[in-house]
A and B are shown apart, each in its own frame.
Chain A
Amino acid sequence: MWSRSKTADLTEGRAPALRFPAPVSAWPASHPEGRIPQAQTASRFRRIPVYRQKYIFLLPGLLVLIAVILFPLLFTIRVSFSSWDVYNPGLNNAGGAMYARMWDDARYWEALRRLSVLSISTVLIQYVLGFALALLVWREIAARRFFRVLFLVPMMTTPVVMSVIWRTIFHESLGPLNPILDAIGIGAQPWLSQPGFAFAAVMVVEIWQWTPFMFLLLLAGLLSLPSEPFLAAKVDGAGPIRTFLSVTFPMMGAISVGAILIRAIEASKIMETVYVLTSGGPGTSTETVSYYIYIRGMRDFQIGYSAALSLTYLIIMAVALTLIAKALMRLMVRGAQA
């Protein structure tokens, strides 16, 4: 049935349209199966529930999904409407008190603003560096395989362990970085004890650790590009910059958006680096939302309040990332295609 319709559409010069088989009751009498006795046809309809068995196959996965994702989410929503803390145990009904309190919590909103700056700047730098490295080893260069593996090493290390190592590197008395800076005439810097430097230190660790992720995705994208457009560009006499701007970059638009979004989602949850490197200080200069929620929830044991903070954060991030995704699609995919 489907193939006949497709042929018909093609003959009429239109794009093929999907057509579903007509219901059994509409079959002409000449239809080979139209000769099925009425009772048999009815039994066919009765067999429909048999197809519903497919849902049974979905059930285990569905249950796991409910248990792993939906239940904690629903539970968090419930907890956020309670005032569960160290002195009010359990799920009472506090209405929207936790959300009202959050509204006046300047430290939370400041942490959110700081996180936005941190995420956007680090992800963009990671994208630029990752793209550059991917372009470097995409071409035929010596020891290409070695460099591909080497660039992935930071990503394969445990974030907490790497943060501890970086903390040692940045240590202003005992770490190796300041003596090096001294030796080259730049001078020692207050890496973890001045707000601006501490923020920069967190950025450096994030960029170092996650640029390889960008590199990996973008390299995979580059390797999957067809060779014809590049040959055409070469024939047209395009140089490397022109080829990059007019061929490579536009064709990498979709995968770039994917890579940026995945990293943005991860970057919005930054916690280990801040925890180990600065504990949110000096002052509150490197405190991010995740770390603040950790303090409220785990240290201060304000379970209800931290649930409200988490949910609000989830909603804000979902909306923000959706908007970012749309903007990036328009800019990097549709814009490039136009």
Chain B
Amino acid sequence: MTKGTALKRLFLATTVLACATGLASAGDYSKYGIKEDVPGICSYAAIDAKDYSGRTLNVITHAIPVIGEPTALHAQQFQELTGATVNVVHVPFGDLFQRVMIPFQTQQAAYDVLFYASLWIGDFNPYLAEVPAEYQQVSGMQAVTATYRGIASWGDRMLQYTMDGDRHYLKYRADVFDNADAQALFKEKTGRDLTVPATWEEYNEVAAVFTNTDWDGDGAPNFGTAEVTKRDDLMFSAFISRVAPYAKHPDVKGGFFFDLETMTPLVNTPGWVRGLELFVEAQASMPPGGTSFGLGDEIFSFGGGQTLMSYSWDDAFIQAMQEDSPIRNKVAAAMLPGAREVWNRETGAWDSFEDPNRVAYVTWGWTSAVAKDSKNQDMAFDFLCFFANEGNTESDLQIGRFGINPYRDSHFDPAFYETELGWDKAVAETYTTTLKGIDTAPNQVFDLRVPGVGEFMSSLAAGVARAQSGEQTAQAALDGVAAEWNAIVERIGADRVREAYANVVALEDR
């Protein structure tokens, strides 16, 4: 072999080695914390192959950590992979709606990508770009359950890019319900066996027995229930959870908040009033200060082991299952309690049910979208599909403070929570069974996704708060709310509200 040939071979070998190393490093995205880069147009590899150098993406999102932190994280990753500049604006929740809405109304393309509460679609839909078909066909989007695809859609158009799934469900201390002493105490006080509450009456009864009692033996009193009761702090969702089984008759279609035909508010009908009366009654079983608990208080009260039961979103359950939690693997999940008597607004009478009417309340949930006026829609949708790709979502689901909760079929696999999060099998089973049950429940309630939803809910919360504080009776408070809702409908226009509300009813009456 001549010297020249040897040099050529050395050069060739070096080149091949360098290429191989380059390819290997290009395909290794584990440094971003993902377990697997699922192939497709949203994958790390596909996004890495794009070049958005010199282009800027403006994103508005919630404050850190909930949603804000994963937005910042994936924006940074997207920037590194594509060369784009991604500006992320974090806004406190109270300001988020108007910070999105004002640029929309004044036709300024201030933001390309928006993260916000999914129930605002009734207000935002005229300003959002439809998710292109190619993104609707990706594996990650195809795996989104029908419920959450429905939430992302306005009529037959998908306007929101699903990246979170939320719902209300019951959480309780399984160790107490399984405890023989607790069972005996309950039997002694009520004459019946201690069971996981199947109705809200039972819920209140269990809560009352176990309130102001040191049932965990730590020397401090425990309480029956922690609920979100603070006005203007998502209390309306807690209230709707309590009302739904009394007011959402499984055989009566055509609206839960309004009668779709007449657009008459139903908020002061007997089913709603019963729900409010029980909500007020439960205050006696709440911890001190429980009648002004915000979501954060509820999370820490149940998640910290102070209360026996709670119901809201995943946060309190996830908090309870944190590795350092004193009640890790001592909790369980279940569908929201139901009602054995349901108001039938068609007959104007209460109908009795042997098996309680259980209503799944699919409420809230963060979502994302691209502004119709954005000049960077291609890059914006790439960012969102990257944000919500399978690898990123699996990673995000494991970090409680991110606020991202299950919404794909694969997220309801208990094995994921056992292996990735170290949950006990029984806990993982109740969690995923409950979530899946909500997703497929025959009787569901969704948020009031119509123009002016903020005003409707603000009015509802104020009315409920008046009843809670004793300023008014449940009936009087809800009569006041109904009067306000009539005024709002009149201002917006009944046809306009009806057209939007028909989308909600279509989801509920599927």
Q: Which of A278, A280, A301 contacts B97 (CB 8 A)?
A: A301
Contact with A along B472-509 (1 / 0, CB 8 A): 00000000000000000001110010000000000000
Interface contact B105-A107, CB-CB below 8 Å? no
What is the 8 Å Cβ interface bit string for chain B, positions 266-291, against chain A (1 contact, 0 not)?
A: 00000000000000000000011111
Shortest B311–chain A CB gap in Å is 19
In contact, A280 and B232 (Cβ under 8 angstroms)? yes
Task: Report Cα–Cα, A285/B458, bound state, in Å.
Answer: 16
Residues of chain A within 8 A of B123, CB atoms compared: 86-87, 301
Q: Which of B233, B290, B493 contacts A193 (CB 8 A)?
A: B290
Question: Would you call B465 and A86 a contact (CB within 8 A)?
Answer: no
Assess whether A180 is interfacial by the CB under 8 Å rule.
no
- Confirm or deny: B466 has a beta carbon within 8 angstroms of a beta carbon on chain A: yes
List, in ascending order, chain A residues with CB within 8 A of B79's CB.
none
Q: Which residues of B contact A83 (CB under 8 A)?
A: 491
B465 to chain A, nearest CB (A): 5
Query: Measured between alpha carbons, how far is A192 from B289 in the docked complex, in Å?
Result: 6
Q: Are B101 and A86 in contact (CB under 8 A)?
A: yes
**Contact across chains for B458 and A178 when beta carbons are under 8 A apart:** no
Contact partner of B98 (CB less than 8 A), chosen from A193, A284, A301, is A301
Known: A172-B288, A298-B94. A281 touches B452 (CB 8 A): no
Interface check A188, CB cutoff 8 A: yes
Let me know if A281 and B288 touch, CB within 8 A.
Answer: no
Q: Is there an interface contact between B469 and A299, defined as CB atoms closer than 8 Å?
A: no
Asked whether, in the complex, the Cβ of A298 is within 8 Å of the Cβ of B468, the reply is no
* Docked-complex contact A284 and B452, CB < 8 angstroms: no
Known interface pairs A193-B292, A295-B232; A300-B454 also in contact (CB < 8 Å): yes
The number of chain B residues with a CB under 8 A from chain A is 40
Question: What B residues does A95 contact at CB under 8 A?
Answer: none
Residues of chain A within 8 A of B301, CB atoms compared: 173
Q: In the complex, are the beta carbons of B287 and A299 less than 8 A apart? A: no
Residues from chain B with Cβ under 8 Å of A173 in the complex = 287-290, 301, 306
* Contacting residues of chain A (177-229) with chain B, CB-CB under 8 angstroms: 178, 188, 190-193, 195, 198
A284 touches B462 (CB 8 A): yes
B232 touching A299, Cβ below 8 Å: yes
Does B455 interact with chain A (Cβ within 8 Å)? Answer: yes
Residues on A with C-beta less than 8 A from B451 are 86-87
A89 close to B466 (CB less than 8 A): no
Within 8 A of A (CB), among B122-160: 123
CB distance from B399 to the nearest CB of A (A): 24
Q: Are B458 and A281 in contact (CB under 8 A)?
A: no
Decide yes or no whether B168 CB sits under 8 A from chain A.
Answer: no
The answer for the CA separation of A195 and B451 in the assembled complex, in Å, is 33
Q: How far is the CB of B203 from chain A (nearest CB, A)?
A: 20
- Pick the contact of A284 from B106, B471, B492 — CB < 8 Å? B471
Q: Is B230 an interface residue (CB 8 A)?
A: yes
Q: What does the 1/0 interface line of B371-395 toward A look like (CB < 8 Å)? A: 0000000000000000000000000
**Complex contacts, A172 vs chain B, CB 8 Å:** 287-290
Say which residue of A178, A284, A295 sits within 8 Å of B288 (CB atoms): A178
Of B106, B233, B491, B493, the residue contacting A279 (CB under 8 A) is B233
Chain B residues positioned under 8 Å from A302 (CB to CB): 455
B226 (CB) vs chain A CBs: closest residue: A173
A300 to B288, CA, bound (A): 31
User: Known contacts A283-B468, A283-B471; is A90 also within 8 Å of B105 by CB?
Assistant: yes
Which DSSP category, helix, strand, loop or mixed, fits chain A's interface?
Answer: loop
Secondary structure at the B interface, as helix, strand, loop or mixed, is helix
Which residue in A90, A178, A195, A279 is a CB contact (below 8 Å) of B231? A279
From B232, B301, B458, B466, name the one whose CB has the most chain A CB atoms within 10 angstroms.
B232
Q: What is the CB-to-nearest-CB distance from B279 to chain A, in angstroms, rounded to a whole number? A: 13
Q: Which residues of B contact A86 (CB under 8 A)?
A: 101, 123, 451-452, 454-455
Contacting pair B289 A282 (CB below 8 A) = no
Contact: A190 with B469, CB < 8 Å? no
A281 to B451, CA, bound (A): 26
- Give the residue among A174, A297, A300 with the most B Cβ atoms within 10 A: A300
B454 in complex: contacting residue of A188, A192, A283, A299, CB < 8 Å: A299
Minimum CB–CB distance from A119 to chain B (whole Å) comes to: 22
Complex contact B496–A87 (CB within 8 A): yes
Contact of B292 among A89, A281, A299, A300 (CB under 8 A): A281
Shortest distance between the CB of A285 and any CB in chain B (Å):
6
How many residues does chain A have at the interface if contact means C-beta atoms less than 8 Å apart? Answer: 34
Contacts of A198 in B (CB 8 A): 292
Chain B residues near A282: list those with CB within 8 A: 231, 291-292, 465, 468-469
The residue that B289 contacts in the complex, of A85, A171, A297, A300, with Cβ under 8 A, is: A171
The smallest beta-carbon distance between B107 and chain A, in angstroms, is: 9
**In the complex, A258→B306 CA distance in Å?**
50
Q: Is B95 at the interface (CB under 8 A from chain A)? A: yes
> For residue B466, which residues in chain A have a CB less than 8 angstroms away from its CB?
283-284
Q: Nearest chain-A residue to B306 (Cβ)?
A: A173
Q: How far, in angstroms, from A85 to B451 measured CA to CA in the complex? A: 10
Check if A193 sits within 8 Å of B492, measured CB to CB. no
Per-residue contact bits, chain A 75-115, to B (CB 8 Å; 1 contact, 0 not): 00000000101110110000000000000000100000000
* Chain B residues within 8 Å of A297, by CB: 98
- Could you tell me the distance between the alpha carbons of A295 and B233 in the complex, rounded to whole angstroms? 12
CA distance A300 to B457 in the complex (A): 9
- A90: chain B residues at CB < 8 Å are 105
B300: A residues at CB distance < 8 A: 174
- Expressed in whole angstroms, the minimum distance between the Cβ of A76 and any Cβ of chain B is 15
Report which residue of A171, A188, A282 has the largest number of chain B beta carbons within 10 angstroms of its beta carbon: A282
Closest CB of chain A to B288's CB: distance in Å?
Answer: 3
Contact between A193 and B458, CB atoms less than 8 A apart: no
Instruction: State how many angstroms separate the Cβ of B128 from the closest Cβ of chain A.
Output: 15
Q: How far is the CA of A297 from the CA of B455 in the complex (A)?
A: 10
Complex formed: what's the CA distance from A75 to B97 in Å?
22
Chain A neighbourhood of B470, CB < 8 A:
283
Interface 1/0 per residue, B219-232 and A, CB below 8 Å:
00000000000111
Instruction: Pick from A191, A195, A284, A298: contact of B95, CB below 8 A.
Output: A298
Convert A253-280 into 0s and 1s, putting 1 for each residue whose CB lies closer than 8 angstroms to a CB of B: 0000000000000000000000000111
A193 to B232, CA, bound (A): 15
A195 touches B469 (CB 8 A): yes
Q: Which residues of B contact A299 (CB under 8 A)?
A: 94, 97, 232, 454, 458
For the complex, what is the distance from the CA of A188 to the CA of B94, rounded to whole Å?
A: 32
Check A190/B468 contact, CB under 8 A, given A280-B232, A295-B458, A301-B454. Answer: no
Shortest CB distance A81–B (Å): 16
Q: Are B101 and A279 neighbours in the complex by a CB distance under 8 Å?
A: no
Report how far A85 CA is from B452 CA in the complex, Å.
9
Query: Are B454's CB and A281's CB within 8 A?
Result: no
Residues of the A chain whose Cβ atoms lie less than 8 Å from the Cβ of B496? 87
Instruction: Find chain B residues with CB under 8 A from A285 CB.
Output: 469, 471
In the complex, which residues of chain A have a beta carbon less than 8 angstroms from the beta carbon of B101?
A: 86, 301
Neighbouring A residues of B287 by C-beta, 8 Å: 172-173
| Contact of B455 with A300 in the complex, beta carbons under 8 Å | yes
Chain A's nearest CB lies how many Å from the CB of B212? 12
Q: Which residues of chain B are within 8 angstroms of A283 by Cβ–Cβ distance?
A: 231, 465-466, 468-471
**Known contacts A87-B451, A280-B231, A300-B454: does B289 contact A193 (CB below 8 Å)?**
yes
Name 13 interchain pairs, CB-CB below 8 A, sorted by A. A86-B101, A86-B451, A172-B288, A188-B288, A193-B291, A195-B471, A278-B292, A283-B468, A284-B462, A295-B458, A299-B94, A299-B97, A299-B232
Given A193-B290, A198-B292, 13 more pairs with CB closer than 8 A: A86-B101, A86-B123, A87-B493, A89-B106, A173-B290, A190-B288, A190-B289, A279-B294, A280-B232, A283-B471, A284-B465, A295-B232, A300-B458
Minimum-distance CB pairs A-B, first 9:
A172-B289, A283-B469, A172-B288, A89-B105, A282-B469, A193-B291, A300-B455, A87-B451, A283-B471
